[in-house]
Structure 1
Amino acid sequence: MLRHEFQPGRLVGGSCLTAAGALYLGDVRGLWEVPWFTAIPLAVGGLVLAGVTTALTRAIRGKGGAEDEKV
């Protein structure tokens, strides 16, 4: 299996969406009460954080990232 480049933006975005899913899973099971509009700020905030993380990662690594190494 080929190794792939670590992408922290995807990790942040996926974690926020997973947290939203876990909140609503707890609501469905009756463990706690979650308002219906909670998913919107979690999803949008997670996507914004993922974008900022991706931009910061690209700025630190340089424009091309790992793609420059492929020759």
Structure 2
Amino acid sequence: MLRHEFQPGRLLAGVFLILAGVIYAGDAGGLWETPWFALIPLVSGGLCLAGVVGMVAGGVRRRRRARRPATEAPPSADLPG
């Protein structure tokens, strides 16, 4: 059983930031030449996309909680304290 809920927005933000790190590491290693301004659209676009995905996932999560019957226990109640 999962210990926490899946958060796709954070996963997407991490992927874009790791990609930016790989691009800068390749530039520092001499594999290719990257202009200093090239990663600004990549990082800002990735963070904006991650924010949108996070908001959509939160809305879906809230909607599923609202549709769940009131008598059903939340999934975290099964875990030992």
Q: Report the TM-score, using the length of structure 1 for normalisation.
A: 0.81
Count of residue pairs brought into register by the alignment: 68
Structure 2 gaps of 5+ residues are 66-73
Coordinate RMSD, CA, aligned: 2.2
Q: Report the TM-score, using the length of structure 2 for normalisation.
A: 0.72
Larger helix proportion, structure 1 or 2? Answer: 1
How many Å separate the matches in 1 of 2:61 and 2:4?
15
Structure 1 gaps of 5+ residues are none
What's the counterpart of residue 44 of structure 2? 44
**Which portions of structure 1, spanning 4 or more consecutive aligned residues, are displaced by more than 2 angstroms?**
none
Report sequence identity in percent: 52
Equivalences for residues 1-71 of structure 1 within 5 A: 3-62=3-62, 69=74
